[in-house]
């Protein structure tokens, strides 16, 4: 089997593009394929800016807020800069990095992967790409039963200039609002739920806005369903990376900052192993991405999210009021997925409702 590429990456969302840029920087010959390789990313991505471990990407925000409020039983402000990712700039930065290191973009689709003695073939309609290792970053995970669900809209109106990060109502969902000049991106969010009720969230958002004297809009509607407990595939020749690989933080639904950290880890592992036995490179990358501590951490996050999904609206407020009383460093590390399993378990033990698990 002739292998022109060391790595073929399927998917050009954040996971695929970050992986491609990191693999290119690590000196690997990379092919990156998707049905529309440079299609604009869709979601309104938000991040805690300090969690983005890449100065250029951290600097590429469409807006940044230093006053970030949360409302449980009372309103308070949390420390940290929150940013709305400038998606077009992130895409341009990553594309430039890819082009600088010779990454080849191909129009194609992964339908199946066939493994051979010298490498693996990505096969799909009009697609037949061979590489020593294949990374699947195609999003759309299957097998989850717990979701973060949100209905978002861009509206005209004045909600002040603060970022409203988590403003609980009386129904168990919360408002997430990013003001931007005359417009505001507003989203009604169920943090962790087994029920995907987008229409219900839309109606709650409109009722909430009506109380504030604002009306919903039809511009920029975002229907958000994030799988929180998608299964993590085991070690395999096919490497999975991104939302399709159980990498979303089950406590928060966040993924981007984790991908920024994880892409160089993936690339370093592939670079170290790609010249060896082709069967070994995938499992080695899996071990680098999923050491036992990270798997334990994920189980704890899922256990916590399962409890959160069962809480009544009033219990949710109590839970998050306690969360925002945790020491700032602990809280930030929890959100950033930086607490090791021991620290995470001990922080969780300080939270109401979780200790009864
Ligand atoms: C509405 C929404 C809002 C979110 N907001 C945030 C946020 O604010 N902050 C945060 O950190 N996370 C957020 N997330 C979670 C996560 O960051 C996103 O889901 C992110 O887009 C996942 O990136 P990805 O590259 O894994 O998958 P995707 O972005 O889904 O990209 C998948 C890529 O694979 C391609 N593809 C699909 N099928 C194939 C195939 N068969 N062959 C080849 N290519 C294929 C697609 O064309 C696309 O290029 C959000 C998720 C959603 C759904």
Burial 146-160 (b: 16+ CB within 10 A, else e): bbbbbbbbbbeeebe
pTM of the model: 0.97
CB 255 less than 6 A from any atom of ligand 1: yes
Residues of the chain with CATH 3.30.70: 147-227
CB 138 less than 6 A from any atom of ligand 1: yes
Options 1.10.10, 2.40.10, 3.40.109, 3.30.70; CATH for 147-227 is: 3.30.70
C-alpha of residue 146 to centroid of ligand 1, in Å: 17
Which helix (H) or strand (E) element contains residue 272?
A: helix 256-273
C-alpha dihedral (236, 238, 242, 246), degrees to nearest 10: -30
Contact present, 72 and 321 (Cβ < 8 Å): yes
Closest to 155 in 3D by CA, of 200, 81, 205, 199:
205
Strand order in the sheet with 82-85: 46-48, 82-85, 61-65
Residues of the chain with CATH 3.50.50.60: 5-42+86-142+230-290
Superfamily of domain 5-42+86-142+230-290: FAD/NAD(P)-binding domain (3.50.50.60)
From first to last of its 357 residues, what are the pLDDT tens digits of the chain? 446 899 999 999 999 999 999 999 999 999 999 999 999 999 999 999 999 999 999 999 999 999 999 999 999 999 999 999 999 999 999 999 999 999 999 999 999 999 999 999 999 998 999 999 999 999 999 999 999 999 999 999 899 999 999 999 999 999 999 998 889 999 999 999 999 999 999 999 999 999 999 988 777 899 999 999 999 999 999 999 999 999 999 999 999 999 999 999 999 999 999 999 999 999 999 999 999 999 999 999 999 999 999 999 999 999 999 999 999 999 999 999 999 999 999 999 999 998 764
C-alpha of residue 254 to centroid of ligand 1, in Å: 11
Q: Quick one: which atom of ligand 1 is closest to the CA of 245?
A: 26
Query: Which of 226, 245, 250 to mutate for ligand 1's pocket (most ligand atoms within 8 Å of CB)?
Result: 226
């Amino acid at each position: 089997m002739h292998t022109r590429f060391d790595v073929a990456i399927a998917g050009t969302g954040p996971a695929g593009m970050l992986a491609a840029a990191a693999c290119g920087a690590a000196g690997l010959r990379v092919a990156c394929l998707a049905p529309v390789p440079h299609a604009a990313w869709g979601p309104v991505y938000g991040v805690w800016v300090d969690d983005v471990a890449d100065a250029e990407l951290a600097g590429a925000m469409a807006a940044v807020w230093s006053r970030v409020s949360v409302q449980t039983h009372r309103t308070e402000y949390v420390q940290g800069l929150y940013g709305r990712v400038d998606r077009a700039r992130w895409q341009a930065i990553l594309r430039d990095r890819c082009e600088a290191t010779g990454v080849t973009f191909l129009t194609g689709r992964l339908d199946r992967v066939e493994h051979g003695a010298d490498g693996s073939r990505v096969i799909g309609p009009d697609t037949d790409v061979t590489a020593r290792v294949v990374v699947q970053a195609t999003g759309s995970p299957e097998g989850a039963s717990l979701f973060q669900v949100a209905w978002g809209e861009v509206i005209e109106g004045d909600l002040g200039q603060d970022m409203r990060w988590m403003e609980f109502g009386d129904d168990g969902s919360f408002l997430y609002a990013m003001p931007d000049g005359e417009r505001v991106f507003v989203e009604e969010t169920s943090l962790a739920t087994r029920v995907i009720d987008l229409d219900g969230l839309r109606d709650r958002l409109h009722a909430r806005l009506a109380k504030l004297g604002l009306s919903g809009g039809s511009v920029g509607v975002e229907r958000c369903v994030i799988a929180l407990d998608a299964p993590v595939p085991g070690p395999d020749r096919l490497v999975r990376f991104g939302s399709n690989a159980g990498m979303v933080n089950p406590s928060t639904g966040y993924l981007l900052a984790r991908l920024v950290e994880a892409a160089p880890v993936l690339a370093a592992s592939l670079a170290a192993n790609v010249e060896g036995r082709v069967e070994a490179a995938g499992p080695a990358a899996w071990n680098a991405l999923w050491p036992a501590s990270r798997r334990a951490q994920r189980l704890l996050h899922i256990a916590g999210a399962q409890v959160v999904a069962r809480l009544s609206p009033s219990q949710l407020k109590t839970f998050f009021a306690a969360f925002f009383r945790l020491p700032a460093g602990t809280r930030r590390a929890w959100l950033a997925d930086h607490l090791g399993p021991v620290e995470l378990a001990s922080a969780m033990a300080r939270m109401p409702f979780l200790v009864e698990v």
